[in-house]
């Protein structure tokens, strides 16, 4: 099916050739004036298309033309990525999905959770209308005062007539627990089955030590070049990296933006060294670091708004 659509391609503004598809391509040439203002010209166009917008990495629009032929930019940041919005007729191919991801969401009222005493649980189920109204049983368990763990897809659960539907979520019993997750559905004729939850932690294959592979986790655990020190409640110092923490937490990002010292030192009041280290190791890629420590890690993730941890737990 031929449809008019907007294609987006990102590139740096060197003298460069940009190929969008087999039928759409162009060159970018730059010229500099005496004030070091660069003008970039679109030339050697191939195909029937319009460049309707060009933006920098901060989403600033660099041209008001309906079909951009040239635009200007100063020399301070033109080595960054720029986005070209290209309007063209594109042939789309229809396919039949053999699998797709469905969203699963439900709510557990806090009143129900507060009826539990520590080490008590109750059962309920989720109905999946996308899978012929099949049900997944889940357990609501109180593991400690004020905290609830919701688990679905326990091993050996015979009520689940499809494989590997699993999630685990930790929450407070003071507010309603809103759970959102997703799973992959495989379609085979009229039948469908749910294969796996997208948040399931998998065990990676063993590394071949003879190849000398070094994982990102191993690199980040080397503290020689760390630029931030996290100080636990017992005064233990845990070295880390601003780039990793800022990527995973807006709170850390703000702290680093407002700090001028290197390394940055942050007092993590209320959290022991093991909780902090386990949380940071998770952000480094070691997903097993938080196993058995979910309650403490969840509190840490809540305080510092580490979404990747909160979603996983």
At residue 63, the pLDDT reads 87
Task: Provide, rounded to the nearest whole percent, the portion of the chain with pLDDT above 70.
Answer: 78
Burial of 103 (0-12, 13-18, 19+ CB in 10 A): exposed
What does the pLDDT average to over 283-310?
A: 85
Measure the CA–CA gap between 250 and 257, rounded to whole angstroms.
Answer: 10
pLDDT tens string 120-172:
899 888 877 776 677 777 889 888 888 888 877 544 444 443 444 556 677 78
Measure the CA–CA gap between 279 and 306, rounded to whole angstroms.
Answer: 9
What does the pLDDT average to over 284-312?
A: 84
- Show me where the domains of the chain are located: 2-91, 99-197, 216-312
SS3 label, residue 283:
helix
What does the pLDDT average to over 183-197?
A: 49
* 184 alpha-carbon distance from chain centroid: 18
Measure the CA dihedral 114/115/118/120, to 10°.
-130
What does the pLDDT average to over 222-233?
A: 87
Q: Calculate the average pLDDT of the chain.
A: 79
Whether residue 286 has pLDDT greater than 60: yes
- Which pLDDT band, with edges at 50, 70 and 90, does 312 fall under? confident
pLDDT tens string 109-134:
989 999 999 888 998 888 777 766 77
Plot region of 261 (φ>0 → left; ψ -120 to 50 → alpha; else → beta):
beta
Partners of 111 in beta bridges: none
Measure the CA–CA gap between 84 and 11, rounded to whole angstroms.
Answer: 8
At residue 265, the pLDDT reads 93
Comparing 165-179, 198-212, 277-291, which segment has the lowest mean pLDDT?
198-212
What does the pLDDT average to over 178-193?
A: 59
Q: 216-312 has which CATH code?
A: 3.30.710.10
What does the pLDDT average to over 190-199?
A: 43
12 in Cβ contact with 83 (< 8 Å): no
Sign of CA dihedral 146, 151, 157, 160: positive
At residue 166, the pLDDT reads 58
Considering only residues 216 and 244, tell me which one the structure prediction assigns the higher pLDDT. 244
DSSP state of 223: G
pTM: 0.40
138 in Cβ contact with 125 (< 8 Å): yes
At residue 128, the pLDDT reads 75
Measure the CA–CA gap between 201 and 287, rounded to whole angstroms.
Answer: 7
DSSP state of 150: E
DSSP string, 288-299: GGGTT-HHHHHH
At residue 185, the pLDDT reads 58
pLDDT tens string 52-107:
999 988 888 988 888 999 988 876 565 678 899 999 999 988 887 666 677 778 88
Considering only residues 258 and 74, tell me which one the structure prediction assigns the higher pLDDT. 258
């Amino acid at each position: 099916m031929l449809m008019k659509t907007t294609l987006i391609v990102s590139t740096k503004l060197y003298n460069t050739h940009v190929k969008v598809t087999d039928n759409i391509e162009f060159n970018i040439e730059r010229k500099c004036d005496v004030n070091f203002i660069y003008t970039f010209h679109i030339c050697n166009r191939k195909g029937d298309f319009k460049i309707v917008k060009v933006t920098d990495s901060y989403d600033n629009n660099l041209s008001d033309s309906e079909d951009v032929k040239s635009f200007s930019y100063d020399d301070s940041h033109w080595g960054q990525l720029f986005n070209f919005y290209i309007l063209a007729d594109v042939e789309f191919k229809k396919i039949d999905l053999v699998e797709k991801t469905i969203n699963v969401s439900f709510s557990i009222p806090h009143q129900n959770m507060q009826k539990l005493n520590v080490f008590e649980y109750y059962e309920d189920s989720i109905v999946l209308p996308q899978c012929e109204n099949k049900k997944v049983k889940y357990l609501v368990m109180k593991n400690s005062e004020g905290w609830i763990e919701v688990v679905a897809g326990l091993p050996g659960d015979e009520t689940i007539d499809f494989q590997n539907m699993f999630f685990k979520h930790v929450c407070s019993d003071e507010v309603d627990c809103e759970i959102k997750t997703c799973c992959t559905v495989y379609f085979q004729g009229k039948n469908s089955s749910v294969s796996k939850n997208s948040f399931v932690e998998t065990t990676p294959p063993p590394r071949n030590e003879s190849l000398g592979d070094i994982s990102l986790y191993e690199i980040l655990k080397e503290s020689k070049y760390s630029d931030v020190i996290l100080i636990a409640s017992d005064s233990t110092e845990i070295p880390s990296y601003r780039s990793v923490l800022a990527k995973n937490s807006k709170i850390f990002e703000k702290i680093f933006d407002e700090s001028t010292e290197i390394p940055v030192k942050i007092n993590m009041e209320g959290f022991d060294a093991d909780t902090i280290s386990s949380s940071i190791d998770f952000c480094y890629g070691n997903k097993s670091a938080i196993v058995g420590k979910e309650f403490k890690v969840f509190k840490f993730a809540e305080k510092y708004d580490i979404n990747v941890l909160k979603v996983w737990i």
